Structure 1
Amino acid sequence: MKFNKYTFFLIGYLIQNIIFWIGIQFSKITDLPINLLYSFSNGFLGTAAGIMGILISRHWGGSKSAVGKGVLLISLGITSWGLGTLIWSFYNFVLHVPVPYPSWADLGYTLAVPLWTIGVFYLSKATGAKFSLRQLRGRLMLILLPLLAAVASYYFLYVIARKSSFVVEGGLLKIFLDFYYPLGDWIILTVAFLIFGLSLQYLGGRFRWPVMILILGFVFMFISDFTFSYTTTVESYYNGHLADLLFTVAIFVISFGVAGFDTKET
């Protein structure tokens, strides 16, 4: 995988945000505008990286090819997540109010999961995953890997993050989101496990590193969601928390994987 203008931008932005985050930690600031600015920075990263991915998908014919569809949908998912985070920041940074739950930010977050899932499905067509399903090993993975992801999701997102407590309250939309977010995290982890397990022996050439990096990015997204869920449960979260840095890394890694599909490498 060669570096290009997109990867250089992403690396530069990651370094900037890491320095930004370290500064927040050393200053021990938790409730000033600089904290809100970090969340805004994450939203900008997601939105900009998503748009770059959409441009990259055009090199593969956009919706006319499996790779093009995969890159396009994953990029739309990144954009959706970024817009959700910008809306989150708008509540805090502009309106100066706590982010309500549910809010319009949740629309961006909820749309990201199906876009990523369908996008990875199309990419799997180009990575040889379907050939694995013709073998007993592949069919076993199709059963066992989602179960493994379910166990991991249950333990981290329910036992640890929510301390084995799940209270159903509020309106229908809130109840829906309370169930949807853990389910979405399970889907993200399952997708990462499946594409890795089913495609590993067939990955080669220009696809290998971009796909591997994408998988790593979705694992980071699961870790980020877990950290955010846990810190909000124990009421230790603030804008600029470690959870936000993990979101920075997750979006960076997913976007870096997408950038690897750029056919006009420089």
Structure 2
Amino acid sequence: MDKKRLEQLLEEIQSGKTSVEEGVRALEDLPYKELGYATIDNHRELRNGYPEVIYCQGKTPEQVQGIVKYMMSQGNNILATRAGKEMYRKVREVCNHAHYNELGRTITIINHEPETTESYIAIVAAGTSDLPVVEEAYETALILGNQVEKITDVGVAGLHRLMSKMDRIRGAKVVVVIAGMEGALASVIGGMVDKPVIAVPTSVGYGANFGGLAALLAMLNSCASGVSVVNIDNGFGAAYNASIINKL
């Protein structure tokens, strides 16, 4: 139950439209709901400003469907990450307006339009191979109520491409930089903007990239000030943090 629904319920009880007994039954699932295979945090939005997000990896399609079905009853916007096609098909059985981003492996369900910021988040990616992480970050930032600018394929192998996009990047309130290989793009941008930079190392690269570890260590050791780093391929985590900054 989100904050708006809770306020509405209290008004209904005060006006007599809803009895106290009915109100108590509606509040029985606070602060969480046990589904047997999952415990859904109903107070997440009240505490943190955003409802709980479904991490689908390791769950069955039926479990994802059950979680979505319950969350739909609470009226929240819903984001599911690392979701496969079969999970999406099961979710569509209970919500025909669910949207699937196949590249980003996200399912989004908009039950009410979020209030959108005037400022925007820039999501900047080194190469086309980084686009799955870009799309996860993009869908996350959108559903959390942010304007977003995507700037892709501007890696350090051709800095002239990046320089032509610097006005758009500098105009953002916060910049998410996504890069694999040696992960140098975060340091380059960090030295050229006066905004927070959230770096996302990706698992893109040849053997010595070690599945993103080389990019992660390079970003952690960046000599550019203002660069913070999230985990490998964690587009969701970067966009979530960027959203908090963008709404300050």
Asked if TM exceeds 0.5, the reply is no
- TM-score of the superposed pair, with normalisation by structure 2: 0.29
Higher RCO (CA < 8 A, seq sep 6+): 1
More strand by share: 2
Larger Rg: 2
More helix by share: 1
- TM-score of the superposed pair, with normalisation by structure 1: 0.28
